[in-house]
Amino acid sequence: MEGQLAHIGAGLAAIGSGAAAIGVGNVAGNFLAGALRNPSAAASQTATLFIGIAFAEALGIFSFLVALLLMFAV
Amino acid sequence: MATEAQGGEGGGLVFHPMDQFKIKPLFGGDTIEWYTVTNATLWMALAVLAIIGLMVLGTSRRATIPSRIQSIAELAYGFVYKMVEDVAGKDGVKFFPYVMTLFMFIVFANFLGLLPMSFTTTSHFAVTVVLALLVFLTVTIYGVAKHGTHFLGLFWVASAPLALRPILAIIELISYFVRPVSHSIRLAGNVMAGHAVIKVFAGFAAIATISPVSVVAITAMYGLEVLVAFIQAYVFTILTCVYLKDALHPGH
Amino acid sequence: MATETHAAAGTAADAAHGAASAPGMPQLDFSTWGNQIFWLSITLVVIYFVLSRIALPRIGAVLSERQGTIMKDIAAAEDLKAKAIEAEKAYDKALADARAEANRIAGEARAAIQADLDVAIAKADTEIAAKTAEGEKAIAAIRASAVESVAAVANDTAEAIVASMGGKADAKAIAAAVTARMKG
């Protein structure tokens, strides 16, 4: 019973991956919108883009980690 | 080990997505002491050999007109050098060999891990935590040694209203100490997630009717993983540069 | 992979052990951390020394050398370009000189020819003038003799007409009348 609850929890934690996907999409989409308005400034901001994506994705990875812990470690 | 046995058509559907990350002694035996040569050791050594092959043997001719391998080595050099210079500033160049070491190790460990049947050293928190803590300690020690108490200006946001500053200081302090955590878990998590997902799709390939879909999915995931392998190395390196900039120029 | 086959024997032996002690995630099996950290530190130190002692200075030297070579080549190319421009200028100057010389020679030749021509024309003009004068003189003589002949014929004719009309012709009057008529 406890193991099954852990699996349910893991599934719930996996929702966080979708939330992180929204975040990454927001970052990339806004970068693209800005880049199309001012293409000359876009090249200098790709590093910022990747840093932003990395921060957004890290939180999704955290939720993935929680899911894994619930699946395998509990 | 949690294994789900699902009554599929005929055979059983068994997932072992985490088995690929097991550390095994390379030459028999069943105990892992601190000196035991394991599969992790083997793939770290292969990464070292690959780096030596690219950066030392590939450039041994010192040709003015580079060969292909030398071009790749020069490309990597220029890529990381420009990153350090742009992000950390001109005086960050003295950390260039250090940043280059991190970048080369991560990128080679990631790509070697993409070979079938291989072991991915960067998927282990033990590895990435050490890498992230190294960066964290370098930044903190260098920052304190160079700027002394002025380094604490990193947490005291002078441009904010006075009433908000203590609250911001607490937030900045927390975010500063969370850095190595997110820095390490991001890399290991990304690599582990990709490999585990590929393994899960590989488990589905046991069912004949959906195995074509599974193979296509594995191929697509593999392509994504190649991208992730590079981007995570890039992100780790550029965040290192960002943190080094804090040590070199504290204060916002 | 060689490792797999190599470790296969060991795996079978420690399968029971691994299943018993290792948690679900190998990453969280802290008994392996010391091992990994030990080998990782060796790896990083080796990579750091290989890169900082051998590879990076070498690549940096190659890159700066290439930069120097490119700079030198560009300078040499610019030198050659300047030389080419100079040569073109010299060529242009020589061409202009030759052209001027040719113009001068042609002018001289033209002047000489003109002079010869002028002399010849002048000579021809004088000859023509002399011939014309002679001709005019001859014409004048002929005209004078013709007028005399006409006067004589007129006198004779007038005498004969007067004589045939039965009158006695006064030679003096006839001559006067003829002269008056010929003048009118």
What gap in Å lies between CA C43 and CA C46, rounded to an integer? 5
Q: Domain count for chain A, please give it.
A: 1
Contact A71 B1 (CB under 8 A): no
**Chain A residues touching residue B231 (CB < 8 angstroms):** 50
Domain with C44, as residue range(s), is 33-143
pLDDT at B43: 93
pLDDT at C82: 95
A6 at interface of B, judged by CB pairs closer than 8 A: no
pLDDT at C114: 94
Lowest mean pLDDT among B36-45, B59-68, B234-243: B59-68
Q: Where are the alpha helices (DSSP H) in B84-159?
A: 96-113, 125-147
Residue type, B195: H
Percent of chain C residues topping a pLDDT of 70: 86
Confidence of residue B22 (pLDDT cuts 50, 70, 90): confident
Q: Is residue C88 part of a domain?
A: yes
Contact B59 C40 (CB under 8 A): no
Lowest mean pLDDT among A32-36, B93-97, B219-223, C180-184: C180-184
Q: What is the CATH number of the domain that holds A68?
A: 1.20.20.10
Q: Would you say C141 and C133 are in contact if contact means Cβ atoms under 8 Å apart?
A: no
Residue B89 has pLDDT above 70, yes or no: yes
pLDDT at C1: 39
Q: Is residue B200 part of a domain?
A: yes
Mean pLDDT of the C14-27 span: 52
Interface mutation vs chain C, best among B101, B104, B236, most C CBs within 10 Å: B101
B14 at interface of C, judged by CB pairs closer than 8 A: no
Lowest mean pLDDT among A27-41, A51-65, B72-86: A51-65
Residue C5 has pLDDT above 80, yes or no: no
pLDDT at B139: 92
- Angle ∠(B59,B60,B65) on CA atoms, nearest 5: 55
Mean pLDDT of the C95-103 span: 95
pLDDT at B205: 86
Residue C167 has which token pair? 């009158």
CA distance readout (Å), B66 to B51, B54, C73, C81 = 18, 13, 17, 28
Residue C10 has pLDDT above 60, yes or no: no
Q: Is residue B1 part of a domain?
A: no
Mean pLDDT of the C175-183 span: 79
Q: Is residue C176 part of a domain?
A: no
pLDDT at B13: 64
pLDDT at C169: 67
Q: Domain count for chain C, please give it.
A: 1
Lowest mean pLDDT among B16-20, B32-36, C20-24: C20-24
Confidence of residue A72 (pLDDT cuts 50, 70, 90): confident
**CA-based R_g, chain A, Å:** 17
Confidence of residue C18 (pLDDT cuts 50, 70, 90): very low
Residue C16 has pLDDT above 80, yes or no: no
Looking at mean pLDDT, say which of B138-147, C21-30, C146-155 comes out highest: B138-147
Q: Which residues contact B165 (CB under 8 A, 6 or more apart)?
A: B156, B157, B158
Average pLDDT over chain B, rounded to an integer: 87
Confidence of residue B34 (pLDDT cuts 50, 70, 90): confident
Contact A47 B87 (CB under 8 A): yes
Contact B28 C9 (CB under 8 A): yes
Mean pLDDT of the C26-44 span: 89
Mean pLDDT of the A62-68 span: 87
**Chain A residues touching residue B186 (CB < 8 angstroms):** 54, 57-58, 61
pLDDT at C3: 41
What gap in Å lies between CA B245 and CA B135, rounded to an integer? 12
pLDDT digits (tens, 9 = 90+) for A7-26: 899 999 989 989 999 999 99
Confidence of residue C103 (pLDDT cuts 50, 70, 90): very high
Q: Choose between C53 and C155: higher pLDDT.
A: C53
Q: Is residue C85 part of a domain?
A: yes
Q: Please, what sign has the CA dihedral across residues B102, B103, B108, B111?
A: positive
Q: Would you say B83 and B241 are in contact if contact means Cβ atoms under 8 Å apart?
A: yes
Residue B141 has pLDDT above 50, yes or no: yes
Q: Is residue C27 part of a domain?
A: no
**Chain C residues touching residue B45 (CB < 8 angstroms):** 43
Phi, psi of C64 (to 5 degrees): -70, -35
Average pLDDT over chain C, rounded to an integer: 83
Q: Is residue C37 part of a domain?
A: yes
A72, closest residue in chain C (CA to CA): C24
B234, closest residue in chain A (CA to CA): A50
Percent of chain B residues topping a pLDDT of 90: 50
Q: Is residue B3 part of a domain?
A: no
Confidence of residue B1 (pLDDT cuts 50, 70, 90): very low
Domain with A20, as residue range(s), is 2-73
Residue C17 has pLDDT above 80, yes or no: no
What gap in Å lies between CA C50 and CA C67, rounded to an integer? 24
- Angle ∠(C142,C145,C151) on CA atoms, nearest 5: 140
Confidence of residue B251 (pLDDT cuts 50, 70, 90): low
Phi, psi of B35 (to 5 degrees): -100, -5
Q: What ipTM describes this predicted complex?
A: 0.86
Average pLDDT over chain A, rounded to an integer: 88
Classified as helix, coil or strand, B144 is helix
Mean pLDDT of the B200-212 span: 87
Q: Is residue B114 part of a domain?
A: yes
pLDDT digits (tens, 9 = 90+) for B173-183: 998 998 999 89
Q: Choose between C133 and B19: higher pLDDT.
A: C133
Helix%, strand%, coil% for chain A, nearest 5:
95, 0, 5
